Amino acid sequence: MKTILELISDEVKTAFNKAGYDPELGQVTVSNRPDLCEYQCNGAMAGAKVYHKAPAVIAAEVADKLKDDPVIEKAEPVNPGFLNITIKGSFLADYLKQMTACEDGRLGIETPKKQTVIVDYGGANVAKPLHVGHLRSAVIGESIKRISRYMGHETIGDVHLGDWGLQMGLVITELKERYPDLPYFDDSYEGEYPNEAPFTINELEEIYPTASGKSKEDEEYKKRAMEATAKLQNGVRGYRALWQHIMNVSKADLKRNYDALNVEFDLWKGESDVHDLIPDMVKYLKEGGYTRISDGALVVDVKEETDNKEMPPCMILKSDGASLYNTTDLATIMDRVKKYDPDRMVYLTDKRQNLYFEQVFRCARKTGLIDPDKELIHIGFGTVNGKDGKPFKTRDGGVMRLEYLIKDIDDRMYARIKENRDIDDDEAKAISKIVSLAAIKYGDLSNQASKDYIFDVDKFTSSEGNTGPYILYTIVRIKSILERFVSEGGKLPDIEGKACGFTVPDSAVMKSLMMELTGFAQTVTGAYTEAAPHRICAYIYGLANAFNSFYHEVRILSEEDEQKKQGYIALLVLTLKELSTCIDMLGFGAPEKM
Ligand code: ARG
């Protein structure tokens, strides 16, 4: 289905043609002066240069050809040569009908070619608790995954755990310090290892920072940690068994945290999963002549002629032969290509990894690990800051655990709900859980990913302004009007695959709402192409505003003209559907009541 802008442009292009000018001049844009008109065309200005005519003359000639147009209500030539365009209400109503008539219920979204997409997000590392820095990877990644799915693509979300490097050796070394008698450390032990892990999640979370601290001060300790890493990677039985315990305990805790965020992965793969593929990959890279030795390390050059910034080579093996983060990422690309043949891979990390991913992507392409026509996208996101503009911290200056951050917002939301009305505790808890998640996620997603933003609890939990709760209030408001309509004997129209009874707008607020509603397919498609959920936030904020203006001005249920009333109800149903679909793509839901 064509976008409304394309349809209007088609009319204006035909008019340019009829008046004897290049039809391409008839491209229309949304008006940047909504007080004057709805759409505008600046083609006469460009045409003036080509045809050596005054732009105002061209604009007037084109406007003349647009009289009695089925789409355009008014095309007004204004100096020095713009066309100010207003569209017909009947055209708008027809357009909305066509949207709801789409059989797949997707309101005009088209998926010409079904793709396979992998979203690599979450960024969790084993044995380390999630902190506020992990929020964005999880929240933005989850949304990108859902948008891709809604677009009809086969989409796989992978957490890609950091579960292999020195961090694991550190944890094992510290465990050995504390419990040297465990069978895992006894090389002559041949029996079965215990099923129970010899530590709890709380201990595990304390072990990593302790070990990491010690290794920075004590060379000997660090050496032991490196040896432990090597033993683990070389497959020493006791070390693998202990590692498996660390994985199980840590993963169970990570799952619980991601559940609380309504974030769900299809794959719980990690760096360790590609360990065995590395030797073959290195062989392939060497034999292909892609590598060279630099200071003892094996590298692939990825610099290009056009670079005007520093572009160091991509390191494949360190001088001691050990693999690195790069190596596992390249092997993962190779593995994914083989298993899933993805058309697109999207990675989410902090923007400090921008250069890193550029090196890895270039290396993968240059060496043929992936075809050049496949999309590799890295979304490098900005920092979550506190109100002081510095990275968000706990009150005493420590790293903020994600779990506590969520709890904090939830408590705040709960208090607000209890303040506002008389409601029992359980209901208030259930509602606050849903709304606080929306507050956090929308607060994050409404910012363009690459920008830093301020995590402002008061603002995010407010029911006014560009916030999650505001969107939810709007949804709940629509639901309650529709419920009343039904309880008064009304019948809701079916908008899945049916041309609904939209009517010609009878007020400016109604027309604005209808115009907003037409943008759904274009917005979602754009959000997919650009891997940019903030576009969906901007869309639903505009839509919610348009709806609320309509609601404040128009008496919906007391309208006596039956046809008009049905038209209003159709608008409510469509608005509800668009808002609900969009928040689902953002990764949160709405409560029945608020
Ligand atoms: N665990 C990594 C980190 O903490 C992020 C992983 C991102 N994904 C990837 N394929 N490299 O930085």
Q: pLDDT digits over 394-441, tens only?
A: 778 778 889 999 999 999 999 999 998 899 999 999 999 999 999 999
Query: What homologous superfamily does CATH list for 4-87?
Result: Arginyl tRNA synthetase N-terminal domain (3.30.1360.70)
Q: Is 587 in the pocket of ligand 1 (CB under 6 A)?
A: no
What's at 213, amino acid-wise?
Answer: G
User: Which segment of 213-217, 320-324, 372-376, 583-587 scores lowest on mean pLDDT?
Assistant: 320-324
* 3-state SS, one letter per residue, for 375-408: EEEEEEECCEECCCCCECECCCCCECEHHHHHHH
Question: H-type helices in 52-165, by residue range?
Answer: 55-65, 89-101, 133-150
Residues 523, 537: Cα–Cα separation, whole Å: 10
Span 575-594, pLDDT tens digits: 999 999 999 999 999 999 98
Distances from the Cα of 518 to the Cα of 6, 107, 193, 205, 286, angstroms: 12, 9, 62, 50, 54
- Ligand 1 centre to CA of 470 (Å) is 34
- Residue 28's φ and ψ, nearest 5 degrees, are -110, 145
Q: Is 125 in the pocket of ligand 1 (CB under 6 A)?
A: yes
Q: Which 3 state secondary structure label does DSSP give 316?
A: strand
At residue 320, the pLDDT reads 87
Q: Are 364 and 140 in contact (CB under 8 A)?
A: no
For ligand 1, atom 3: residue with the closest CA: 123
Inform me whether the pLDDT recorded for 114 exceeds 80.
yes
Query: Nearest Cα to 197, choosing from 241, 238, 138?
Result: 241
What's at 368, amino acid-wise?
Answer: G
Ligand 1 atom closest to the CA of 348, numbered from 1: 7
What's at 166, amino acid-wise?
Answer: L
Q: Where are the domains of the chain?
A: 4-87, 402-460, 468-586
Query: Nearest Cα to 61, choosing from 25, 111, 86, 105?
Result: 25
Inform me whether the pLDDT recorded for 473 exceeds 90.
yes
Point out which residues pair with 443 in neighbouring strands. Answer: none
At residue 240, the pLDDT reads 96
- Residue 5's φ and ψ, nearest 5 degrees, are -65, -40
Residues 82, 47: Cα–Cα separation, whole Å: 11
Inform me whether the pLDDT recorded for 33 exceeds 90.
no
Which of the four pLDDT bands, split at 50, 70 and 90, describes residue 445? very high
For ligand 1, atom 2: residue with the closest CA: 123
DSSP string computed for 224-267: HHHHHHHHHHTT-HHHHHHHHHHHHHHHHHHHHHHHHTT---SB
**Contacts with 231 (C-beta within 8 Å, 6 or more apart), sequence order:** 239
For ligand 1, atom 6: residue with the closest CA: 123
**For the chain, how long is the longest CA-to-CA vector?**
95
Ligand 1 atom closest to the CA of 271, numbered from 1: 10
Q: Is 329 in the pocket of ligand 1 (CB under 6 A)?
A: yes
Q: Are 139 and 261 in contact (CB under 8 A)?
A: yes
At residue 399, the pLDDT reads 81
Question: H-type helices in 320-384, by residue range?
Answer: 325-340, 354-366
- Ligand 1 centre to CA of 16 (Å) is 53
Residues 515, 93: Cα–Cα separation, whole Å: 10
Q: Is 123 in the pocket of ligand 1 (CB under 6 A)?
A: yes
Residue with tokens 């201990």: 203
Residues 455, 459: Cα–Cα separation, whole Å: 9
Span 366-401, pLDDT tens digits: 999 999 999 999 999 999 999 999 988 877 877 888
Q: What letters, b where the CB count within 10 A reaches 16 and e where it falls short, cover 317-356?
A: beeeeebeebbbbbbbbbbbbeebebbbbbbbbebebeeb
Which of the four pLDDT bands, split at 50, 70 and 90, describes residue 363? very high
Query: Nearest Cα to 258, choosing from 169, 134, 104?
Result: 134
Tokens of 299: 């590298």
For residue 80, is the peptide bond before it cis, meaning its omega torsion is within 30 degrees of 0? Answer: yes
Distances from the Cα of 96 to the Cα of 73, 84, 471, angstroms: 17, 23, 22
Distances from the Cα of 62 to the Cα of 16, 88, 259, angstroms: 6, 18, 58
- Ligand 1 centre to CA of 185 (Å) is 30
Q: Which helix (H) or strand (E) holds 156?
A: strand 154-158
- Ligand 1 centre to CA of 137 (Å) is 10
Q: Is 270 in the pocket of ligand 1 (CB under 6 A)?
A: no
Residues 590, 594: Cα–Cα separation, whole Å: 9
Query: Nearest Cα to 275, choosing from 349, 223, 330, 319?
Result: 330
- Ligand 1 centre to CA of 303 (Å) is 23
Ligand 1 atom closest to the CA of 357, numbered from 1: 11
Please tell me the CATH code under which domain 468-586 is placed.
1.10.730.10
Q: Are 384 and 132 in contact (CB under 8 A)?
A: yes
Query: Nearest Cα to 168, choosing from 227, 214, 120?
Result: 227
Q: Is 158 in the pocket of ligand 1 (CB under 6 A)?
A: no
Tokens of 508: 């400016």
Q: Are 346 and 117 in contact (CB under 8 A)?
A: yes
Inform me whether the pLDDT recorded for 78 exceeds 80.
yes
Span 168-193, pLDDT tens digits: 999 999 999 999 999 999 999 999 99
CA 536 to chain centre: 9
At residue 322, the pLDDT reads 86
Which of the four pLDDT bands, split at 50, 70 and 90, describes residue 115? very high
Query: Nearest Cα to 95, choosing from 555, 514, 578?
Result: 514
Ligand 1 atom closest to the CA of 350, numbered from 1: 12
Could you give the strand order of the β-sheet that contains 39-41, starting from the edge strand earlier in sequence? 28-30, 39-41, 82-87, 72-78
For ligand 1, atom 7: residue with the closest CA: 123
Q: Is 444 in the pocket of ligand 1 (CB under 6 A)?
A: no
Cα angle at 89 between 83 and 90, to 5 degrees?
120
Inform me whether the pLDDT recorded for 142 exceeds 80.
yes
- Residue 267's φ and ψ, nearest 5 degrees, are -125, 135
Span 235-251, pLDDT tens digits: 999 999 999 999 999 99
- Residue 561's φ and ψ, nearest 5 degrees, are -70, 110
For the chain, state the CA radius of gyration.
29
Q: Please give the mean pLDDT across all residues of the chain.
A: 95
